[in-house]
A and B are shown apart, each in its own frame.
Chain A
Amino acid sequence: MQQLPLNVRLAEHAVFESFHAGPNEAAIACLREAAAGAGPRFTWLWGPGSSGRSHLLQAAVTAAHALGRPSIFLPMAQRASLDPAMLDGLETASLVAVDDIDAIAGDGAWEPAMLLLYERIVASAGRLVMSSILPPARSGFRLPDLASRLSTAAVYQLVQGGDEQLLRALQKRAAWLGLELPDVTGRFLLTRVERDMAALCRELERLDREALAAQRRLTVPFVSEVLGSAD
């Protein structure tokens, strides 16, 4: 008999505990401090897509909230559904996390609003953490004043390790989902799925559902079967 998975998802995926730090320990330590209201006032993470920028920024927001500190996550890639007025009053938050801040580069309304938010945060006690594909000076801001001010941040490049790091990251995520991902199965997955953390996580969530329904462990034959059925 097949067990039907309940449509209940884990409360939080994007937390520090589900992220494999690998070579990015210093960046994570800095974000944890920011969540607690300590460390540098401004932090900038940069790296390619799927390097974990959004995950870490959301983790910081969640951690701040758990400490009773109001915080906000702003996904600038979705700025079309937001408005620069969204930045008003955010200096009252303990932590403001601006994800994909480069998405507002060159935008005549968002850039000045961000500049003013920066100034208000300087005058308050809050912290600002940002993420982008590139460092501040190369993120393409039209206002030199904004690029210059944001470059006071402690800048960290998120480094994606090789396959071994990817495997450890995937295993950590699996453990967070309550799954055991043996090395051999993990390596098998890395050879069959796009070697990109976001794609691998999507696959892992699908495997989680299928494994629960079929009451199976994540063995190579089972994963092969599931991947094959998707083709």
Chain B
Amino acid sequence: MTSLWTDCLRQLQADLSETDFNTWIRPLQVVEDSETLRLLAPNRFVVDWVTDRCLGRIREVVARDSSDAARAVVLQVGTRRPEPAAPAAVTTVSIQLQRPSPPPGIRLNPNYVFERFVEGKSNQLARAASAQVAGNPGGAYNPLFIYGGTGLGKTHLMQSIGHVIQANRPEARVAYVHSEQFVQDMVSALRHNTIGEFKKAYRSLDALLIDDIQFFAGKDHSQEEFFHTFNALLEGQRQVVLTCDRYPKEVDGLEERLKSRFGWGLTVAVEPPEMETSAAILITKAAAEGVELPEEVAFFVAQRIRSNVRELEGALRRVMANSSFTGRPITLDFAREALRDLLALQERLVTIENIQKTVAEYFKIRVADLLSQRRSRSVARPRQVAMALAKELTRHSLPEIGDAFGGRDHTTVLHACRRVAELRETDTRVREDYQNLLRTLTN
């Protein structure tokens, strides 16, 4: 950091509150030469604030401190590239000013490749379809529509396709774009009168990977534009991959013609992973960071954090970070200790009463029915599911669970748990119901 800018910082620190200083001054980057002190801000909003409140003061300090002719102070949107790993000489750093219309999308995440995708029963089909599309873009499966809950690997698969296309054809223009970004880019293009460039940028792609298309719901103008982009790409046999949190026909607020077109290619689902897959995901993610995660720790974390893969990943990061700070190896006891508050929170949330209430709501029956002696299938099956969930998610003993369900014997609970386990293997409906309830209760 230059001494001139250090003087400015000292003055601004005295003038501003600590919060304002950290919000508006810390993000500024400085590039200085003999004639100019150039301040680079991340966006227009910061430029405006600093111009209004601080630029006068900065100019005063610069005029006071410059021994020779006063240097000009320029404040603009931009960033230094490359970012220095350590404080480095700034004179050699080039400046990249923000371009008015950046190309669509963001860089593909290098970690989102097929090799790092852990396959299980829950995502086998989606992975196989993605690999097919990656090897033969614009072919039979166009568009590829991947749907499923959040945090189950849709973005990972989609970006893996992008990596393969790019590796096979380095000149291919592949864009990964979040739907909300598409909407914002379009609004921005309309405002700046650059809609022609916007259309050209999107329609000249070789592959468009567009994430979370449920964001288009209710945004008619964006849907219209996307519809034309989509058609143009498909007609040119360019690959389109879409992800969504539900089956296309179930997205409210999406035009029928879009829903229909999304179904032209191949539609595949990703389901929540079974525990074995979750544990394998943890081991793979840890290995990617150079950490060997014991299997028992992976199963411990996977068993307790059931909501989605991202939360699982968060828990793993925390265990790895704590191990790195303390220098202690990752054991079962260490993981239990590192995740103590997280697990306590989950256990506090999941009670038998909560399970009964959630299951009753899900199956549209009354909690009193679950506790009653009625044995009709419409009540008995939800009761069995609730008992199995109580065994899986709480630490209550089987007799305690039996008691909580209208004073039933523990062997009834045991039978219920076995029956539900069998049905989850053989009956898709029961499997889906159970997974949905599991996620609701643990999220």
Select which of A11, A26, A73, A123 is within 8 A of B325 by beta carbon.
A26
Select which of A74, A92, A123, A159 is within 8 A of B341 by beta carbon.
A159
Select which of B10, B83, B315 is within 8 A of A125 by beta carbon.
B83
Contact (Cβ within 8 A) B180 A116:
yes
Q: A26-B325, A85-B43 are in contact. Are A152 and B313 (CB under 8 A)?
A: yes
Contact (Cβ within 8 A) A68 B1:
yes
Contact (Cβ within 8 A) A123 B106:
yes
Contact (Cβ within 8 A) B321 A135:
no
Most buried by A among B14, B26, B29, B86: B26
Q: Which of A141-149, A172-180, A198-206, A215-223 is near enough to bind chain B?
A: A141-149
Distance, CA A70 to CA B314, complexed state (A): 25
Verify if B231 is at the interface (C-beta below 8 Å from A): no
Verify if B66 is at the interface (C-beta below 8 Å from A): no
Q: A68-B87, A145-B212 are in contact. Are A89 and B77 (CB under 8 A)?
A: yes
Verify if B281 is at the interface (C-beta below 8 Å from A): no
Q: Which B residues are CB-close (under 8 A) to A64?
A: 26
What 1/0 flags go to B193-217 for Cβ under 8 Å of A? 0000000000000000000100100
Contact (Cβ within 8 A) B86 A68:
yes
What 1/0 flags go to A98-142 for Cβ under 8 Å of B? 000000000000001001100110110100000000011100000
Verify if A83 is at the interface (C-beta below 8 Å from B): yes
What 1/0 flags go to B21-50 for Cβ under 8 Å of A? 011001111000000000000111110000
Q: Which B residues are CB-close (under 8 A) to A137?
A: 307, 311, 443
Q: A70-B26, A148-B310 are in contact. Are A90 and B321 (CB under 8 A)?
A: no
Contact (Cβ within 8 A) A58 B342:
no
Contact (Cβ within 8 A) B18 A148:
no
Q: Report the minimal beta-carbon distance from A101 to chain B, rounded to whole angstroms.
A: 14
Contact (Cβ within 8 A) A75 B324:
no
Distance, CA A93 to CA B85, complexed state (A): 12
Verify if B107 is at the interface (C-beta below 8 Å from A): yes
Q: Which B residues are CB-close (under 8 A) to A68?
A: 1, 84, 86-88
Distance, CA A127 to CA B198, complexed state (A): 30
Verify if A163 is at the interface (C-beta below 8 Å from B): no
Q: Which B residues are CB-close (under 8 A) to A65?
A: 26
Query: Which residues, 73 to 120 on B, are CB-close (under 8 Å) to A?
Result: 77, 79, 83-88, 98, 106-109
Most buried by A among B42, B44, B215, B342: B42
Q: Which A residues are CB-close (under 8 A) to B167?
A: none
Q: Which B residues are CB-close (under 8 A) to A29?
A: 321, 325
Q: Report the minimal beta-carbon distance from B135 to chain A, rounded to whole angstroms.
A: 25
Q: A12-B18, A61-B22, A94-B83 are in contact. Are A152 and B310 (CB under 8 A)?
A: yes
Verify if B69 is at the interface (C-beta below 8 Å from A): no
Q: Which B residues are CB-close (under 8 A) to A83?
A: 45
Q: Report the minimal beta-carbon distance from B108 to chain A, rounded to whole angstroms.
A: 8
Select which of A44, A67, A112 is within 8 A of B87 by beta carbon.
A67
Distance, CA A32 to CA B366, complexed state (A): 51
Verify if B308 is at the interface (C-beta below 8 Å from A): yes
Distance, CA A14 to CA B23, complexed state (A): 13
Q: Report the minimal beta-carbon distance from A207 to chain B, rounded to whole angstroms.
A: 20
Select which of B26, B77, B151, B341 is within 8 A of A73 by beta carbon.
B26
Query: Which residues, 1 to 49 on A, are CB-close (under 8 Å) to B?
Result: 8-9, 11-14, 25-26, 29-30, 33, 37, 39-40, 42, 44
Q: Which A residues are CB-close (under 8 A) to B151?
A: 148-149, 151
Q: A12-B18, A74-B23, A135-B342 are in contact. Are A123 and B321 (CB under 8 A)?
A: no
Verify if A56 is at the interface (C-beta below 8 Å from B): no
Contact (Cβ within 8 A) B245 A145:
yes
Contact (Cβ within 8 A) A72 B27:
yes
Verify if B338 is at the interface (C-beta below 8 Å from A): yes
Verify if B317 is at the interface (C-beta below 8 Å from A): yes
Contact (Cβ within 8 A) A149 B310:
yes
Q: Which A residues are CB-close (under 8 A) to B18?
A: 12-14, 58
> What are 10 A-B pairs at a CB distance below 8 A?
A8-B14, A58-B22, A68-B87, A68-B88, A71-B22, A73-B19, A85-B43, A149-B150, A151-B314, A152-B313
* Shortest 3 CB-CB contacts between residues of A and residues of B: A68-B87, A148-B150, A73-B22
Instruction: Supply 6 further A-B pairs (C-beta < 8 A) apart from A71-B22, A97-B22, A148-B310.
Output: A58-B19, A68-B1, A72-B42, A112-B215, A147-B150, A151-B311
Question: Could you tell me which B residues sit within 8 Å of A by CB distance?
Answer: 1, 10, 13-14, 18-19, 22-23, 26-29, 42-46, 77, 79, 83-88, 98, 106-109, 149-151, 178, 180-181, 184, 212, 215, 245, 307-308, 310-311, 313-315, 317-318, 320-322, 324-326, 338, 341-342, 345, 443
